[in-house]
Amino acid sequence: MRNKYTAVIKKENDWWIGWVEEIPGVNCQEKTKEELLETLNITLKEALEMNRYEAISNAKSDYLEVVLEP
C-alpha cells in the first residue's frame, strides 16, 4: 500500500511555494512549478524516513510495527 499526500501550491511573485497538508514542516519554494513538485517529493520522502527512524529509535527494542489504515 502506498500512501498519498496532498500538496498545496501557489505562485507568489516570482516563486512557486508549497506545503504538504498531512506532514507539518514539509514546505518548499522554487522558481518553477515542476521544480517545486520535485522538491516537495524529495522533502516528503526525507521527512517520512526521518520520522520513521525517530519512532524506531524512541522504541529502542522489543517493539512491534502495526500497519494502520484510517
Per residue of the chain (70 residues), give pLDDT as tens: 578 999 999 999 999 999 999 999 999 999 999 999 999 999 999 999 999 999 999 999 999 999 888 7
What residues does each domain of the chain span?
7-58
Three-state SS for 23? Answer: coil
Three-state SS for 19? Answer: strand
State if pTM tops 0.75.
yes
Three-state SS for 10? Answer: strand
**Which cell is 51 given?**
520520522
